[in-house]
A = this chain, B = another copy of it.
Amino acid sequence: MSMREVFHRPEALADVATHYCPGCDHGIVHRLVAEAIDELGVRDSTIGVAPVGCAVFAYNYWSVDMVQAAHGRAPAVATGIKRVRPNDTVFTYQGDGDLAAIGTAEIVHAAARRENITVIFINNSVYGMTSGQMAPTTLLGQVTTTTPGGRDPQRHGFPIRVTELLNALEGPVYLARTAVNTPKNLNVTKKAIRAAFECQIKGQGFSLVEVLSTCPSAWGLNPVECVGWLENNLIPHYPLGVVREPAATPKEEVAVGAR
């Protein structure tokens, strides 16, 4: 009886070991991005932007041209690339500290500009790279090294729902929040990432997929426990789903009388 290969490493995923901690979702999402690139046939014309965060070394992990951006500035860097190479496919891959803290202005404005780029946003509710400080997405009550008594809204403020925040803008064309906690959700995530890239390839404009992710190291749980924590805590606070699609995107308004 012969066997056929039904799953293998995508071509756009460079064949090197990653530095991620065991069980970290970054690895899964990397592969999904690579699969989307392969399936859409754009590996030859894709330029990726790596953030500062655990994914900083992502420049080694995709076999496409890569640019490492300053902390939080990936959307600006991607804008610079896309504006001078409008026919190439440009994406950023950013964590929640990178995108939702220091990089708030850059992501909001890239979205408001309907900049024709794709953003893969890894929300693991902490700063993984610097080993576990509060992120803008940290849940109330969640213990981190900078919220040793748990995040307290009085002192540390409220978690930010990035997808909903950007949904308050006219600019974005595709916005979705997903997770990779089950094979089913993983497939939804894969479709969302593909849809986001498609938006860009069709010239429709700004797309972002927020992936709720685990951080075994900073959460202090083993990878399997992390899945449960994510399901019991992150998903309830950050509802999954597509919140903006090209069809539902506000049309360009009629121009006002100049001055």
Contact = CB atoms under 8 A, between A and B. Distances in A.
A258 interface: yes
| Copies of this chain per assembly | 2
A108 interface: yes
Q: How large is the interface on A (under 10, 10 to 19, 20 to 34, 35 or more residues)?
A: 35 or more
Overall SS of chain A's interface: loop
Interface stretch (A4-12, A34-42, A47-55, A166-174): A166-174
Interface string A242-259: 000000001011111111
A232 B259 contact: no
Interface in A213-259: 219-221, 229, 232-233, 237, 250, 252-259
Contact of A140 (B103, B104, B232, B252): B252
A115 interface: yes
Nearest to A258: B143
Given A104-B108, A113-B158, A158-B170, A141 B257 contact: yes
Contacts of A101: 105, 109
A105 to B, nearest CB: 4
Nearest to A161: B168
